A and B are shown apart, each in its own frame.
Chain A
Amino acid sequence: MTLLGRILVPLLFLVIVVGPVLTVLIALFIGPWLVDLLAANIDIVRFVVAVTGVLLFSIPAAFIIIYMELKVIAFMNLRRGPNRILPAGAAMSVVHGLKVLTKEDFTPTGADRLVFTWAPVVVFLTAVMTFMVIPFGPGLVGQDLNVGLLYLFAVGGMTVVGLLAAGWASFNKYSLLGGLRSAAQVVSYEIPLTLSVVGLILLAGTMSVYQLGLQQSGWFWDWFVFRQPMGALIFFIAATAEANRTPFDLTEADSEIVAGFATEYSGMRFGFLFFAEYVNVFIVSALITTFYFGAWNAPVDVNGLMAWLNANVGTSLQPLTVALDPGSLGVGLLILLIAVPVALTLLFAAPFYLIRTSKPAWQALLLGFVAFNLLAGGALFLIAYIGLDWVAGLLWFMAKAFAFVFVFVWMRGTLPRVRIDQLMGFAWKWLLPASLLNLFATAAAIIVVKSL
């Protein structure tokens, strides 16, 4: 048995045996109670669920972004990138993570042990804490704070504490330089970043991130990017610097200061620092999506379009709804659950077996099973998309956020690193005046519009 097989067989066992057993147990004993608890929307329960969800989500998100970075930059360099682990090297970043876990966790002599140990945790936690106020969909928000934007910038600004602590505690000149650079950079770019969002606050009249999302519903021209284009641009540039991404990745410029604040880190602490970086990339993308690109809203307002057509063209379109009540089938549901997979698997396997008789029966059955699962999954997803607001919202939000992740990776594949004086000069001489101008123009425009 290959290594992959040795890993997959226990996992398969877990999925096939333990999964259903757990599901049945939960459904039988704590299911109703759990549903009641979740439906009651108690703050503490919501908080725990949100924290669990966010922590669980941040790891695969970082894995996906790391893989994206490897693959996209490789494609832009006319290379193929990772292609050995799973098809197209899809598990490459997971293996990277495992490798980091197995490495020695090393603390250099002379390092401030306590600070050295906790700095990566601070960096990672500040990154993850930001998720709390990001609305992933209608109703899918950890805490809808009425000072959500303030919270975002406060927590986001704490990252610099972790980076500086990591740089200082490492007892290494390169680390210290990296920490100082990151402090200078993040603090400088915090100002245009915040000022560019102030225009948004003036427009929206709220500091709740969830409300910002709600206000952008409708067509895509309702998104704030078309009312705050300059603010969006400034926010994008400043956020790039905040996330320490190319072309502003001076904190870990390996040609100048080795790996910056991460020089002395190894093992999982290093992993935390880099996880935090990639989580930051996702957060920045999610923030841009939320603030300027319509949050979870689809670019097309289907209901509005149908209402307009009904009113002006004379059609009689009704909003699509899916009404499923599987409980009403009774025993039929059980038979359906057992019979349908088998029947459809056989049905889908038949063409493979009949057309290409050279294919063994088991291969045809496997293909049929895969085809059935794809169909069933697609159908379930479609039903969920139509029937549940939050699924549709989550889908759009993720699509937009990962589009911006792609832009960040794309930038990394294109742009060279700037010099430290260029970096600071750009922040103070260009971005700050531009964001002030944007703020002034927005305020003036609001006064003019109100006085009309």
Chain B
Amino acid sequence: MSFIPGMGIVRGMGLTLRRFFEPKATIMWPEAPADIAPKYRGRLQLLYDEYGTLKCETCFQCAQACPIECIDMGGMDTKGRFHVHWGPPETYGERREESATRRSGRPVADPAHVRFDPLDTAALDAILERHDYDPKAMLAILEETQAEYGYLPVGALKHISRITGAWYAMIYGTATYYRHLRFEPPTVTTAPPAGEAHRAAEAAFRDALGASLGYGASDTGHVGAAS
């Protein structure tokens, strides 16, 4: 047929006319929902920024959305001080089981690693009792904990998580959100001020000097007055 001039035009016109009556390929989003598998969560990928550091800021959103809880999230907090972890503590083990970790090529956890200092939780238990173990009163609990201990020890947060059933990551998120909550003891100036060390040596020297001059050792505190 191709030897007839104009046949290509006729065939093309026929094609477009057929297309005119065919069902349309447009997906009528948002009226019609997209045809996506219900468990689809998008593509999970860890991205690096231009300096080669991970862009992940340990927000736990991926772990929270994970339907089969297969994401094991852990990392340093945004201030680079504490190791934070996703999920109820009792599930750490099954997700961090040594054989699983070893098989997946992740760094194997050191069982001797102590995550936080042990804590005397008697006062904390009293606070929790007062608030009826209610996770909704978390801010009040955290504030009173801080008033009790002077800061929010990691052990206290873990304990609150275990007792109230609130996820540790949520408690941690709440605690990091408020500026007046802190994770380390306030910098109390318990250390002797600068110069104290050689002042002691000076006192000893003065004692020795006073003894040699005939003063009593008890008067050494008033050297300035004496001189």
Question: Do the two chains belong together in a single complex?
Answer: yes
Residues in chain A near residue B9, CB distance under 8 A: 414-415
Cβ contacts under 8 Å, A75 to chain B:
19-20, 24
B206 to chain A, nearest CB (A): 90
Chain A: which residue is nearest B31 at the CB level?
A83
- A61 interface residue per 8 A CB criterion: no
Query: Which of A80, A411, A414 sits near B15, CB closer than 8 Å?
Result: A414
Chain B residues whose C-beta falls within 8 Å of the C-beta of A411 in the assembled complex? 13
> In the complex, which residues 3-35 of chain B have their Cβ closer than 8 Å to any Cβ of chain A?
9, 12-13, 15-17, 19-20, 22, 24-26, 28
Residues of A within 8 A of B26 (CB): 78-80
Taking the closest CB of chain B, its distance from the CB of A100, in whole angstroms, is 26
- B16:A76 contact, CB within 8 angstroms: yes
Chain A 59-101 interface mask (CB, 8 Å, partner B; 1/0): 0000000000000100111111000000000000000000000
Determine the chain A residues whose CB is within 8 A of the CB of B19 once the complex forms: 75-78
A79–B28 Cα gap in the complex (Å)? 10
Q: How far is the CA of A413 from the CA of B25 in the complex (A)?
A: 17
Chain A residue nearest in CB terms to B14:
A414
Number of interface residues of B (CB under 8 A): 13
A407-422 to B contact mask, C-beta < 8 Å, 1/0 = 0001101110000000
Q: Which of A75, A77, A414 lies at the interface centre, i.e. has the most chain B CB atoms within 10 A of its CB?
A: A414
A410 to B9, CA, bound (A): 12
Which residues of A are found within 8 Å of B17, using beta-carbon distances? 76, 410
Task: Take A414-B13, A414-B15 as given contacts and tell me if A79 and B20 are in contact as well, using a CB distance cutoff of 8 Å.
Answer: no
With CB as the reference atom, state the residue of chain B lying closest to A75.
B20
Please state if B16 and A410 are interface contacts (CB–CB under 8 Å). Answer: yes
The secondary structure that dominates the A interface is: helix
In angstroms, Cα B19 to Cα A211, docked, is 40
Contact size range, A: 10 to 19
Segment 386-430 of A: residues with Cβ below 8 Å from B: 410-411, 413-415
Q: Is the CB of A413 within 8 A of B24?
A: no
Q: Please, which residue of chain A has its CB at the minimum distance from the CB of B19?
A: A76
Give the distance in Å from the alpha carbon of A78 to the alpha carbon of B24 in the complex. Answer: 5
A408 to chain B, nearest CB (A): 12
Q: Which residues of B contact A78 (CB under 8 A)?
A: 19, 22, 24-26
In chain A, what residue has the closest Cβ to B5? Answer: A430
A241 CA to B20 CA, complexed, in Å: 25
Q: Evaluate contact between B13 and A80: CB separation under 8 angstroms.
A: no
Neighbouring B residues of A76 by C-beta, 8 Å? 16-17, 19-20
A78 to B28, CA, bound (A): 13
A72 to B20 Cα, complex, angstroms:
7
Contacting residues, chain B, for A79 (C-beta < 8 A):
24-26
Report the minimum CB–CB distance from B14 to chain A (whole Å).
9
Complex Cα distance, B104 from A350, in Å, reads: 72
- The answer to whether B16 touches A413, judged by C-beta atoms less than 8 angstroms apart, is yes
Q: How far is the CA of A50 from the CA of B12 in the complex (A)?
A: 40
How long is the Cα–Cα vector from A415 to B11 in the complex, in angstroms?
11
Contact at B24–A414, with CB atoms within 8 Å? no
A410, B13: Cβ atoms closer than 8 Å: yes
Chain B residues within an 8 Å CB radius of A77: 19
A77 CA to B22 CA, complexed, in Å: 10
Q: How far is the CB of B13 from chain A (nearest CB, A)?
A: 5
Contacts of A410 in B (CB 8 A): 13, 16-17, 20
Separation in Å of the B9 CB from the closest CB of chain A? 7
User: Which positions 150-168 of chain B face chain A at CB distance < 8 Å?
Assistant: none
CB–CB B25/A414 < 8 A: no
The one of A72, A80, A415 in contact with B24, judged by C-beta atoms closer than 8 angstroms, is A80
Distance (whole angstroms) from the CB of A185 to the closest CB of chain B: 19
Task: Give the docked Cα–Cα distance between A414 and B28 (Å).
Answer: 25
Residues from chain A with a CB closer than 8 A to the CB of B15 are: 414
Q: Kindly supply a per-residue 1/0 record for chain A positions 135-170, scoring 1 wherever the CB is within 8 Å of any chain B CB and 0 otherwise.
A: 000000000000000000000000000000000000
| Complex: chain B residue closest to A430, CB-CB | B5
In the complex, which residue of chain B has the Cβ closest to the Cβ of A247?
A: B9
In contact, B22 and A415 (Cβ under 8 angstroms)? no
Q: How far is the CA of A48 from the CA of B78 in the complex (A)?
A: 79
Instruction: Give Cα distance in the complex from A80 to B28, angstroms.
Output: 9
B11: nearest chain-A partner, CB-CB: A414
Residue of B nearest to A233 (CB): B6
A431: shortest Cβ distance to chain B, in Å? 13
- Name the distance in Å between A412's Cβ and chain B's nearest Cβ: 10
- Is B22 a contact of A414 with CB atoms below 8 Å? no
Residues B20 and A414 in contact, CB atoms below 8 Å apart: no
Q: 6 closest A-B pairs (Cβ-Cβ)?
A: A80-B26, A76-B16, A414-B16, A78-B25, A414-B12, A75-B20
Other contacts beyond A410-B13, A411-B13, A414-B9: 18, CB < 8 A: A72-B20, A75-B20, A75-B24, A76-B16, A76-B17, A77-B19, A78-B22, A78-B24, A78-B25, A79-B24, A79-B25, A80-B24, A80-B26, A410-B16, A410-B20, A413-B16, A414-B12, A415-B9
- Can you report 10 residue pairs joining A to B where beta carbons are below 8 Å apart? A75-B24, A79-B24, A80-B24, A80-B26, A80-B28, A410-B20, A414-B9, A414-B15, A414-B16, A415-B12
